[in-house]
Chains A and B, each alone.
Chain A
Amino acid sequence: MLSFILQRFLSLIPTLLGIVVVVFFMIHLVPGDPAQVMLGERASPQSLAELRAEMGLDQPLHVQLGRFLAGLLRGDLGRSMKTHEAISEELKRRFPATVELTLASMLFASVFGIGAGVLSAVRRGSWLDYTGMTASLVGVSAPIFWLGLILILLFSTRLELFPISGRVSPDVFVPPVTGLLLMDSLLSADLRAFGDALWHLVLPAVTLGTVPTAVISRMTRSSMLEVLREDYVRTARAKGLSEWVVILKHALRNSFIPVLTVLSLEFGYLLGGAVITETIFAWPGVGRWLLLSVEARDFRAVQGGVILLSTVFVLINLVADVLYAWLDPRIKYER
């Protein structure tokens, strides 16, 4: 098992290096000159040339790549061409917001997705099953943009149950420790801030979590249905175990591998794909920052952001692989 983990870790390095190089070249192939975008209508030939030189854009591509890789080894992702802040700082500031939103969404998606999937499988063919599967179809088809606005209109504007946007109310301030507001407010024993942050988290988490819920529920249902047909389930029932023990202890665990795959993939997608949710709910995360950086042709920021998200995605998959090995002792690294 240890060698399995080690080998998976080592395979990370060529993967990440490949990602870095591909991202670098992709961005430089995109048309548009960042200096021109920054200066807009006011660009004069002299100011354009000066700005380009300052940003290091007048160097040949391979020199720029070399400089970037050298910096990467030192943990230096360079400076944003727009704000001139260290990109690692920019990411540190925004990543916790994305993580908090993603974790909340995944919690919502896991609980409701697995729950709905199990219920649908167990009560197959019933109204519960059909409702659940129809709901998941709607969930996966509804555009997030529309869903977010509808939830705001209904729950924030009409029913006034939740706030419209943002992470906390304007007058709430939480001393930053981890950047995860729920944790930081507990660390500073500010229950009011905790409640405020939680209140603001609900609608964005539901919006972002809807698609994963749908996907997870479907996968859970189909995986459970297969497992429930197995002989050992029949044996467990024959032994006189209660139905729920059979389902939750035996069937669910064994049906979990495909569900785990879906969970880890969805987690990865959510991390990078929360741009729309972040825009609607004014959530200051990495997704939206990445979008703005692309628009501004801030190459370095885009590189830094994509590298971070790719790395996290790859790490999540690694964790999922390790969990597979734990869940199913038959899984090993084949040489």
Chain B
Amino acid sequence: MVRNALILCCAVTLTLFSCAGRQGDERVLVMGRGGDSVGLDPALEDDGESFKVCDNLYDTLVQYRQESTDLEPGLAESWESSPDGLTWTFHLRGGVKFHDGTEFNADAVVFSLRRQYDEGHPAHKVEGAFKYWKAMSMSDIVKEVRAQDARTVVIELKQPNAPFLSNLAMNFCAVVSPTAVMKHGKDYFKNPCGTGPFRFKGWIKDDRIALERNPDHWRGAPKLDRLIFRCIPDNTVRLLELKKGTIDGMDNLIPDFLPEIQKDPNLQFMSQPGMNVGYLAMNMDRPPFDRVQVRRAVNHAVHRQALVDNLFQGLAVPAKNPIPPVMWGYNDDAPGYAYDPDRARALLAEAGLPNGFETELWAMSSPRPYMPQPLKIAQAIQADLSAVGVRARIVTWEWGTYLNKVENGDHPMALLGWIGDNGDPDNFLYVLLDKTGAMSRPSQNIAFYRSDELHEVLVEARQVGDHARRTALYRKAQEIVGRDAPWAPLVHTTQTAAFRKRVRGFHLHPTGSFHFFGTEIVNP
């Protein structure tokens, strides 16, 4: 009797097991990632996993071109600024609807932006903060946002600010449905509603987010029926799922996986230079780093190519400037500092330190996108430095503490990096190297580099509208920074992703955005 029951159980179970699997005709793309989104209100979040999903739910007034940080029309068909650069007028696209059926218009744009700074706005009080509005100092730039008529929005600035237009292309300036925000209130971040090519369908926390196509999107209907973001924390397991075909794509590849992916005939590997920099900052408030010869010596001592070859497995390029080559304004003519230990020793002697000196090299303990193995990198640099007589002891802290301390200038030399936000050189150079940042602590200018010459160049570049003039100014800025050497720029890491061969039409973007609008699945 027991035996019969057991056989019956097995039979039933096996039958049930065979029923699972994917539905036949639907074009579904499953994207695997290491962590879940935090929230889907683009103005409240600041993590990449939230933005990846928001990229597909929302549109912005202006948007980045494919694979570039140049701007093209988005929800605004055209725009112009007044001669003094203080008034920007945007002409909005007509006939666009939000996913909840409500009309997209100037009031919606004003709502989306005003709620982030206007304390009296009904949607201003939220749990959490409008982090990017603050991080990009938008309240110092923007005076007022108002609707001139149903299809015209006017934004007035407090001072001319050229990067401002690039900021509008970022996720935090995406246009949200005012009706949905007012309806859901504090729960809006789990009930997102935008104008994007995909609509929100459901979210099981730490498991998956499901989106479905918006056939009425103003660019046309996307080629996918559904887009699912699955959370698979372990890197190896994620790769196994990709190889099996139960997910269609994954990003943030570990270099060790590359050979496996490249020899698999069902997978395609994608890479693109990232909009980031990893650097070694020298605290100019702490001797001997106040002497330029010492800083230049350090630059000559570090073997960047070896770092790239051994610790990044080729998924990076050596850096000579603070901004990456993928950005407009990159000064490729800058000489940089060649690997030359002899020259380094000579410079140290010039600085009155023929026997080198003792110091500390600070490194964070957690991997960062621009530096996946910070302690190993620190060890490699330590070896390079000791070859020229600089004896550095490695000091490490856990991430939160590390940031705290380096921003307070407790370090002589520290590793850090930056991931660009808006594709504008100002976002790197002004934030990280301008003297205003170094006037007080904590500071994001952790070299505490104060150059009046650089300051003048950067301020003018912020305010002038002409693109050619800005490019020339940023090229000059890179010459100044190169000459003064507050940093030893190390690497720019490459973004990577792997997809099944059946996925076509996906392109990585320098900002790290994941747009699936033009992507399709081609069945073999």
Contact = CB atoms under 8 A, between A and B. Distances in A.
A311 to B, nearest CB: 22
A296 B16 CA distance: 40
Contact of B19 (A34, A36, A170, A195): A195
Interface string A27-44: 000011110111111111
Interface residues of B, number: 61
Interface residues of A, number: 60
Most buried by B among A43, A50, A194: A43
A33 B400 contact: yes
Interface stretch (B100-108, B156-164, B204-212): B204-212
Interface stretch (A251-259, A262-270, A275-283, A318-326): A275-283
Contacts of A38: 46, 131
A281 B237 contact: yes
B241 interface: yes
Contact of B240 (A44, A152, A173): A152
Interface stretch (A6-14, A159-167, A215-223, A238-246): A159-167
Contact of B127 (A39, A44, A84): A84
Given A42-B46, A195-B19, A198-B13, A170 B228 contact: yes
B400 A32 contact: yes
Interface stretch (B22-30, B114-122, B452-460): B22-30
B333 interface: no
Contact of B237 (A44, A165, A194): A165
Interface string B228-255: 1011111011001101101000000000
A292 B37 CA distance: 13
B208 A170 contact: yes
A171 B230 contact: no
Interface stretch (B261-269, B299-307, B401-409, B508-516): B401-409
A288 B240 contact: no
Given A169-B22, A199-B20, A83 B134 contact: no
B237 A280 contact: yes
A203 to B, nearest CB: 11
Given A171-B28, A195-B13, A33 B240 contact: no
Contacts, number: 157
Most buried by A among B23, B233, B440: B233
Most buried by A among B236, B237, B404, B417: B237
Interface in A280-335: 280-282, 284, 288-289, 292, 297
A271 B140 CA distance: 49
A82 interface: yes
Contact of A31 (B206, B231, B398): B398
A199 B16 contact: yes
Contacts of B19: 191-192, 195-196
B416 interface: yes
B234 to A, nearest CB: 5
A21 interface: no
B83 interface: no
Given A93-B205, A284-B206, A170 B30 contact: yes
Interface string A180-194: 000000000001101
B135 interface: yes
A48 interface: yes
A172 B19 CA distance: 11
A171 B404 contact: no
Interface in B26-58: 26, 28, 30, 35, 38-39, 46
B128 interface: yes
B189 A90 contact: no
A289 B440 CA distance: 37
Contacts of A194: 16
A41 B416 contact: yes
Contact of A84 (B16, B20, B128, B135): B128
A60 interface: no
A58 interface: no
Contacts of A198: 13, 16-17
B444 A164 contact: no
A142 interface: no
B429 to A, nearest CB: 15
Contacts of B39: 83-84
B518 interface: no
B442 interface: yes
A282 B234 contact: yes
A42 B135 contact: yes
A32 B399 CA distance: 8
A165 B129 contact: no
Contacts of B367: none
A39 B133 CA distance: 13
Nearest to A276: B234
Interface string B428-440: 0000000000001
A164 B403 contact: no
Given A149-B237, A284-B206, A47 B244 contact: no
A94 interface: yes
Given A36-B400, A152-B240, A169-B22, A90 B207 contact: no
Contacts of A199: 16-17, 20
B95 interface: no
A261 interface: no
A152 to B, nearest CB: 6
B246 A41 contact: no
A157 interface: yes
B442 A45 contact: yes
A294 B286 CA distance: 34
B438 to A, nearest CB: 12
A33 B407 CA distance: 13
A23 interface: no
B335 interface: no
A170 B444 CA distance: 42
Given A36-B404, A198-B16, A284-B231, A169 B21 contact: yes
A297 B244 CA distance: 36
A45 B126 CA distance: 21
A47 B131 contact: yes
B202 interface: yes
Contact of B135 (A47, A90, A152, A156): A47
Contacts of B16: 191-192, 194-196, 198-199
B15 interface: yes
B241 A164 contact: yes
B124 to A, nearest CB: 13
A163 B404 contact: no
A31 B397 CA distance: 10
Interface string A45-57: 1111011001000
Nearest to B13: A198
Interface of A: 31-34, 36-48, 50-51, 54, 79, 82-85, 90, 93-94, 149, 152-153, 156-157, 160, 163-167, 169-173, 191-192, 194-196, 198-199, 279-282, 284, 288-289, 292, 297
Given A31-B398, A47-B129, A170-B28, 12 more contacts: A32-B398, A33-B401, A41-B417, A42-B131, A54-B129, A84-B127, A84-B189, A149-B236, A157-B243, A160-B244, A165-B237, A279-B234
14 contacts: A37-B399, A46-B134, A47-B131, A50-B134, A84-B39, A163-B246, A169-B20, A170-B246, A171-B23, A192-B16, A195-B19, A199-B17, A282-B234, A292-B35
In the A-B complex, the 4 residue pairs with the closest CB atoms = A195-B16, A84-B127, A284-B206, A32-B400
